[in-house]
Amino acid sequence: MRIGNLTTPSLLVEGELLDANLRAMSDALPGDRLRPHVKAHKCTGLAARQASFGHVGFTCATVAEVEGMARAGLGDDLLLANEVADATRLGALVRAGTRITLAVDSEETITAAVRAGVPEVLIDVDVGLPRCGCRPKDAGSLADSARRQGLSVRGVMGYEGHIVGLESRATREEMLEVSMHLLRAAHDDVGGDVISAGGTGTYDINRLATEIQAGSYALMDTAYAKLGLPFAQALSVLATVISVNPKWAVADCGLKALGMDHGNPSVESGTVMFCSDEHLTFVPDSPVRVGDRIRVLPAHVDPTVAYHAFLHVVDGEEVAESWPVDLRGW
């Protein structure tokens, strides 16, 4: 299969760049120092490639991601780094042999784990991102409560999501100091072997975490590209030019093919004006014609991939593999 035969829009992954990203990360964080986050690609084919670089524990954001990873034989050590009010489906997986660790930050989520029969948890700690996580000072008593109810508390988790995307490395380091101070204190009260934290933007500066939950590093996006990390943008959306006039051109890649929360995508040789449902209006640097193919670089990888059914791994003009984006939905 050649790229020219793909329907557009289609997600392309440059195989060489992907492998270079995976290698750079596994060199920096070998084996279980990295717990790759599958939410960034939602694809067991890509997760299997990550496993081939030595990472066998994975991070998931949804129950469906945990189920899909288990189904694909990648269930050695899955962390659902998120709270769930009803863990019934996870309990069923545990009984079928999957190792699952669940993030908890309240008595209710501890109860959900106990009821469902999920035996292992991490205490999720608020380290500054206004989202999930208990107050650091409550972590110890939650761990005590979980243990009293028969759960094994493996340690703590604290995701510094308010820091990972900041462009200045110095600012990231400064703010991380504060966040990880909170997580260290919580861990002192909780105990356990695991301190799970970090993302692509802090993978090399978070020195407290025993494991880093990075995901975006594999495919990258234009938002993370600004940080000057040693990972290349391996993901693009292939689009076809469908309309041309003297001032702009239009390609068939719009809001339903791109995560838009980080703003407009970029194109390789042109300036994006705006996106509509199925259109990208852009000003090309040099003339384009109807039928030309262009590459669109998404601003945010995670919600972009979630719109697509396949990741096409390409090598030059050849499609080497087409991986289903099989961890979508809930």
In the 3-class helix/strand/coil scheme, how is 55-75 assigned residue by residue? CCEEEECCHHHHHHHHHCCCC
Q: Which residues bind its own copies (CB under 8 A)?
A: 7-10, 39, 61-62, 82-86, 105-106, 108-109, 126, 130-135, 161, 240-245, 247-248, 250, 252, 255-256, 259-261, 273-279, 281, 289-291, 300, 302-303, 306-307, 309, 328-330
Tell me whether residue 55 or residue 300 sits nearer to its own copies (CB atom): 300
> Comparing C-alpha atoms, which of 81, 65, 73, 104 is closest to residue 198?
81
Residues 54, 114: Cα–Cα separation, whole Å = 31
CA angle 93, 47, 317 (to 5 degrees): 145
Contact 58, 77 (CB under 8 A): yes
- Min dist CB 39 to its own copies, Å, is 6
Between 87 and 313, CB nearer to its own copies: 87
Nearer to its own copies, 11 or 26 (CB): 11
Q: Could you tell me the smallest distance in angstroms from the CB atom of residue 23 to its own copies?
A: 26
**Residue 220 or 275: which CB sits closer to its own copies?**
275
Query: Is the Cβ of residue 65 or residue 211 nearer to its own copies in the bound state?
Result: 65
| CA–CA gap between residue 185 and residue 178 (Å, rounded) | 11
Q: How far is the CB of 242 from its own copies (least distance, A)?
A: 4
- For the bound state, the minimum distance from the C-beta of residue 201 to its own copies, rounded and expressed in Å, comes to 14
State how far the Cα of 113 lies from the Cα of 102, in Å rounded to an integer: 7
- As measured in angstroms, the least distance from the Cβ of 282 to its own copies is 10
At its nearest, how many Å lie between its own copies and the CB of residue 132? 4
Identity of the residue, 106 or 210, whose beta carbon is nearer to its own copies in the bound complex: 106
Q: What is the per-residue DSSP string for 214-269?
A: --GGGT--HHHHTT--S----EEEEEEEEEE-SS-EEES--TTSSB-TT---EETT
Minimum separation from the CB atom of position 283 to its own copies (A) = 10
Q: Which contacts (CB < 8 Å, 24+ apart) does range 109-113 have?
A: 109/83, 109/84, 109/85, 110/142, 110/145, 110/146, 110/149, 110/151, 111/149, 112/84, 112/85, 112/86, 112/87, 113/87, 113/146, 113/151
Q: Which residue lies nearer to its own copies by CB, 23 or 89?
A: 89
